[in-house]
Amino acid sequence: MDMFQVVLGFFWLVAGCVSFYFSIGNARVWTSIAVGFFLILVGEIIPGTLPFLPGLNNPYVLAMGHIIGTLAILIMSHGFQEYYVFTRTLDFEGSKLHVYLTVVGVIVASLVFLLINPTPDEGVLRVIRIVENTNWVFLSLINIDLIRKIHLNIKDTPISNGFLAFMVVFACIFLWKGSQLYMDVFSLDTKQHLINYTISHYANLVGDLLASLSVGGTFLYLGKLLR
Amino acid sequence: MILLPRGNPVKENINPGKVNLADALGKMRQGKFTGYMRFDFPEGTGVFIYQEGRLISSLFENEREHLIAYDGISRTFDESLNGNGKLNIYQLSTELAHSIHTLLHGEVLHKGQDLQLIDIKSLLIRMREEKRSGCLRIYSKEHIALIFYRDGSPLGFFHDGSTDIETTADSSMSVAKEPGAKVDVLVTRGDGKKSLADLMETADITGMWGAAVAERQRQREEHENAASKTQETKESDRWQKTQELFQSFAMAHLGKIGSLLVDKEFDKLKLNGGQISESALDDFYTKLGKSARMVAGPSKIDKMLEEMKKGFKGLS
């Protein structure tokens, strides 16, 4: 299982690097989307797939992982909203630097928020993880619909098929995060003998793997489309 | 073409468009001028005849029109203001000025008869027998001479440079001997001695001149407005053609959203005013390129912009 986690980590590393690189070389609106996907790597995959790294049992590190994971879906959803507005109004604003600094600022503010509060225990971490997964699940569904609309608006452009790929990405993420949320809501980790747990557990792993592959693949595909 | 012999030149080759003719006519009157003012325009010839300061006759004539009195004055003013005329002023004797008036308003009996083909003696005899009053106008390419008759008897001769009717026929006959010389026979009706009214007494010359100037100004403004509108229409057409061309390129490379991006950037460009030019389009290309990066890559965008630049050059 550890080997599988390492493979997952490798795929997310590739996906994160590709998405971050993509955020640098393309239009500003892609920055939010690409940085959001990159934050998955930073916030969740490192502590989740590489548990042997030092300090990863620290509750602050774990809490920050979940908070950054939450920020990731919020930032990329904001990016897709901006893109949708652009396809309707042809207007967009802001700068890449502004996006990077805002993301760093929000992360720092979140860390300060954690530090000025009592040390998060297991219960707090569970709540934060549920909040994170809830955001991912519902925003994935909303994003699928938003991306569908974007695709309709720009369906005769070179980039349009890239948005179909993003719909696949969010479907995989929905499977990944949805199964995790399901297990948390019903505390299935304490009832591992149930078939529900087994199904959810494997759905979670498959969703995770497919999400990492689809994210990396999608950004590589986008890079090809935007050459 | 009104053929008149030149009298004693007072002023020659003046551009009447640069003269206040109402004032000029007033000065003629004050100076008790006798003679005629001849206006030559591409559109015809105007003649004002003065007799001791009285404007006794005015005529404007071309191939289609024969305008006299106020109409002649008015038309001459109008043509003068076009600026393409030439004004010559010749002094004459009182009697000659009157004769020229009767000549101008007389009836043409024969016109452009070649002197080599016509029996001049028979013509003169017939003038005498029929007791004609009028004038024989003998002219070549270079000179003109007039022989005036009253009731069949010759009154005298007038030729270029003379200010009065002369009794010697030498100059007039010398014109008849020039190659290609021709003769017109003009006859007058009624009493040639009758005193003629002063047109300047019965007409508001200053008002007519003012009206002509105002009309000219109106025509100029109308012309300028029309020219301006033509320019605007031309520019508008150019904007539209360029926009349509760019839309087609954007549509081919970026799809419908590309066409909309072109519209949007064009609207911004139009708001800046001015004419469409390669330099004005530089900013358009930059902004369109930036927007297009949302939906396409640099190679596709560069290709599209390159086609737009080439297409615009083709339109210019």
Predicted confidence band at B3 (pLDDT cuts at 50, 70, 90)?
low
- In chain A, residues with a C-beta closer than 8 Å to the C-beta of B256 are 156
Residue B141 has pLDDT above 60, yes or no: yes
Domain end, chosen from B187, B217, B251, is at B187
Q: Does residue B272 sit at the A interface (CB-CB below 8 Å)?
A: no
Q: Are residues B120 and B160 in the same domain?
A: yes
3-class secondary structure, B255: coil
In this prediction, residue B169 carries a pLDDT of: 64
In this prediction, residue A68 carries a pLDDT of: 93
Q: Are residues B6 and B96 in the same domain?
A: yes
Which of A86, A155, A227 shows the shortest C-beta gap to B294? A86
Residue B194, domain member (yes or no):
no
With a CB cutoff of 8 Å and minimum separation 6, the contacts of B11 are B87, B88, B89
With a CB cutoff of 8 Å and minimum separation 6, the contacts of A91 are A85
- Residue B166, domain extent: 107-187
Distance of CA A139 to the CA centre of its chain: 10
| Complete domains list, chain A, with CATH | 2-225 (1.20.1070.10)
Which of B253, B261, B299 shows the shortest C-beta gap to A90? B261
What total of structural domains would you count in chain B? 3
- In chain B, residues with a C-beta closer than 8 Å to the C-beta of A153 are 257
Per-residue pLDDT reduced to its tens digit, B176-230: 778 888 888 888 765 555 567 778 778 788 888 888 888 888 888 888 888 888 8
In this prediction, residue B73 carries a pLDDT of: 87
Task: Decide if B294 and A83 are in contact by the 8 Å CB cutoff.
Answer: yes
Which of B261, B264, B300 shows the shortest C-beta gap to A158? B300
Q: Are residues B167 and B100 in the same domain?
A: no
Residue B169, domain member (yes or no):
yes
Answer yes or no: are the C-beta atoms of B315 and B307 closer than 8 Å: no
Cα–Cα distance for residue pair A187/B215, rounded to 1 Å: 98
Sign of CA dihedral B108, B112, B113, B115: positive
Answer yes or no: are the C-beta atoms of A216 and A11 closer than 8 Å: yes
- In chain A, residues with a C-beta closer than 8 Å to the C-beta of B290 are 27
Q: Does residue A92 sit at the B interface (CB-CB below 8 Å)?
A: yes
Which two three-digit tokens encode residue A130? 């549920």
Q: Are residues B175 and B261 in the same domain?
A: no
Q: Are residues B242 and B179 in the same domain?
A: no
In this prediction, residue A52 carries a pLDDT of: 66
- CA atoms in the 13 A half-sphere facing the CB of B54: 14
Identify the CA nearest to A114 among candidates A43, A74, A66, A75: A66
Residue B217, domain member (yes or no):
no
Task: Decide if A158 and B297 are in contact by the 8 Å CB cutoff.
Answer: yes
Q: Are residues B79 and B50 in the same domain?
A: yes
Give the residues of chain A that fall short of pLDDT 50. Answer: none
DSSP B278: H
Residue B23 has pLDDT above 90, yes or no: no
Cα–Cα distance for residue pair B68/B70, rounded to 1 Å: 6
Residue B210, domain member (yes or no):
no
Residue of B nearest to A28 (CA): B294
Q: Are residues B9 and B81 in the same domain?
A: yes
Answer yes or no: are the C-beta atoms of B89 and B10 closer than 8 Å: yes
- Residue B46, phi then psi, degrees to nearest 5: -115, 140
- In chain B, residues with a C-beta closer than 8 Å to the C-beta of A159 are 294-296
Task: Decide if B255 and A153 are in contact by the 8 Å CB cutoff.
Answer: no
Which pTM does this prediction carry?
0.62
Task: Decide if B299 and A227 are in contact by the 8 Å CB cutoff.
Answer: yes
Task: Decide if A159 and B296 are in contact by the 8 Å CB cutoff.
Answer: yes
Task: Decide if B294 and A92 are in contact by the 8 Å CB cutoff.
Answer: yes
Residue of B nearest to A92 (CA): B291
Task: Decide if A157 and B295 are in contact by the 8 Å CB cutoff.
Answer: yes
Residue range B88-114: average pLDDT? Answer: 80
With a CB cutoff of 8 Å and minimum separation 6, the contacts of B316 are B278
> Please, which residues bridge with residue B66 across strands?
B61
Residue of B nearest to A31 (CA): B294
ipTM of the complex: 0.78
SS3 content of chain A, % helix, strand, coil (to 5): 85, 0, 15
User: What is the least distance, in Å, from the CA of A224 to any CA of chain B?
Assistant: 9
Q: Are residues B115 and B172 in the same domain?
A: yes
Q: Does residue B293 sit at the A interface (CB-CB below 8 Å)?
A: yes
Q: Are residues B71 and B132 in the same domain?
A: no
Q: Are residues B1 and B100 in the same domain?
A: yes
How far the first Cα of chain B sits from its last, in Å, is: 47
Task: Decide if A157 and B291 are in contact by the 8 Å CB cutoff.
Answer: no
3-class secondary structure, B169: coil
Residue range B292-300: average pLDDT? Answer: 86
Q: Are residues B182 and B112 in the same domain?
A: yes
Residue range B154-171: average pLDDT? Answer: 70
